[in-house]
Amino acid sequence: MKKNKIAIQGELGAYSHIAAESLYQNAEISTCATFEEAFKLAFDDPSVKIVIPIENSLAGRVADIHYLLPKYKLQIHGEYFQAVEHNLLCKPEAVMEDIKYVRSHAQAIGQCQNLINEKKLKAIISADTAGSAKDLAEGKDKSIAAIASELSAKIYNLKILKRNIEDEKGNVTRFLIMGKNIEQPEFIENKKFITSCIFRVKSEPSALYKCLGGFATNQVNLTKLESFSVKNTFDQANFYLDLEGHLEQPEVKKALEELGFHTETLDILGVYAASKSREK
């Protein structure tokens, strides 16, 4: 059986790796140093899909992704919500009293301030959580700990000093599954779908108001609308939008047609089944 080729940003043991393995069993995982490297890999090779974080319930959006979406125009094939549970990892021979420093991604450091302050640890910012665990395993200094996943501890043979050290529980990251090929599911009545797009408004008064009017008149619910600046200018903005519905639904089609009339550019990034995690 042919293995799925999945690219992630970060080292093995990252939360992207956990999400990828939850989605695709026995997948061939490629690790990338940057998000752009992962996007380019999928752009150059249609057989590769990427599993990329786009937003976190505590930290908000992953800013780099929004600029890569219009650049590479990969298609969104699905979404996945991954629980984030941080752990304090150390060398196998270390104990809590040995730890003076803690290394991790800036967001993970920010999400575990209570423990860091309680133990009076000095933070070392790294590129990603799993990379911090890998560096710790390769080094010899037992005064350094890392904040990373349980999978990272297993992969790099580290000890878990303390589990679930995040300040707030219920930390969740939303991931997008993306690839170069269009994979649009057939519309099925009573099944929930998400349609995602990026658009640029015309530089004129009430431009955004006009763009969004079609969603109101056609009663299409928007689940996300975010702006980010167009490169090298403050005069215009791109908008990332998620809506509930499928392109084949008449009301969605009419709303997007009206959106297209009032925009300079409009790119449909994908139509995909809504995650069951959205159900309350």
Contact 89, 136 (CB under 8 A): yes
Residue where one domain finishes, among candidates 151, 179, 207: 179
Residue 49 maps to a domain: yes
Local confidence band at 107 (pLDDT 50, 70, 90 cut-offs): confident
Number of domains in the chain: 3
Q: What is the CATH number of the domain that holds 102?
A: 3.40.190.10
274 and 211 assigned to the same domain: yes
pTM over 0.85: yes
Name the residues annotated as catalytic. 173, 175
199 and 272 assigned to the same domain: yes
Gap between the Cα atoms of 153 and 161, Å rounded: 10
> Which domain does 105 fall in, by range?
87-162
Angle at 169 between CA 167 and CA 173, to 5 degrees: 105
Closest CA to 40 of 2, 10, 9: 9
134 and 197 assigned to the same domain: no
pLDDT of the residue at 1: 65
Residue where one domain finishes, among candidates 152, 179, 206: 179
Local confidence band at 244 (pLDDT 50, 70, 90 cut-offs): very high
Residue 21 maps to a domain: yes
Residue 185 maps to a domain: no
Residue 167 maps to a domain: no
Which tens digits make up the pLDDT trace of 135-162?
Answer: 999 999 999 999 999 999 999 999 999 9
20-41 burial: b if 16+ Cβ within 10 Å, else e:
bbebbeebebbbbeebbebbbb
Which tens digits make up the pLDDT trace of 32-63?
Answer: 999 999 999 999 999 999 999 999 887 788 87
Which tens digits make up the pLDDT trace of 173-218?
Answer: 999 999 999 999 999 998 999 999 999 988 788 889 999 999 999 9
Gap between the Cα atoms of 135 and 147, Å rounded: 12
Residue 240 maps to a domain: yes
70 and 95 assigned to the same domain: no
With 80 as the cut, is the pLDDT of residue 232 above it? no
